[in-house]
């Protein structure tokens, strides 16, 4: 039990649609990162939020965007969904001064 919960656990969307994935972190975890894990691959860093501001972005287009809220929850938004966006999306949070991040169980997104 990592204290990081994601919703929904599974989601099916149609190409071109928009999706919002949610993550709830433990109290005090002021850093949240989002990762995309395609089948057979390791998680790929999408972006990170630190104290509600974006703090680094991986190699993902602008249609991937996010928000972090004061209550330690966060969102990942993906616009104009493409078939290749089908993946497991993982949220990870960490405490200040802590190296290891704690992952949620992920949201499995399928784009058809």
Q: Under the criterion CB under 8 A, does residue 94 sit at the interface with another protein?
A: yes
Contacts with another protein, 20-39, as mask; x by CB under 8 A: ----------xx-x-x----
Cα distance between residue 42 and residue 17, in whole Å: 26
Q: Under the criterion CB under 8 A, does residue 53 sit at the interface with another protein?
A: no
Q: Under the criterion CB under 8 A, does residue 45 sit at the interface with another protein?
A: yes
CA–chain centroid gap for 100, Å, is: 17
Q: How far is the CB of 34 from another protein (least distance, A)?
A: 11
Question: Do residues 78 and 67 make contact, with C-beta atoms less than 8 angstroms apart?
Answer: no
Cα distance between residue 3 and residue 45, in whole Å: 20
What values do phi and psi take at 50, rounded to 5?
A: -130, 120
Which residues are at the interface with another protein (CB under 8 A)?
2, 4, 6, 30-31, 33, 35, 40-45, 48, 50, 55-56, 58, 90, 92, 94-106
């Amino acid at each position: 039990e990592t204290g990081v919960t994601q919703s929904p656990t599974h989601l099916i969307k149609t190409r071109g649609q928009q999706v919002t994935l949610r993550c709830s972190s433990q109290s005090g975890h002021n850093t949240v990162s989002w990762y995309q894990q395609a089948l057979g691959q390791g998680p790929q860093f999408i972006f990170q939020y630190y104290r509600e501001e974006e703090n680094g972005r991986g190699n993902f287009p602008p249609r991937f965007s996010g928000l972090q809220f004061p209550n330690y929850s966060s969102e990942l938004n993906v616009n104009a969904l493409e078939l290749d966006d089908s993946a497991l999306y993982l949220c990870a949070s960490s405490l200040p001064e802590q190296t290891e991040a704690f992952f949620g169980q992920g949201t499995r997104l399928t784009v058809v």
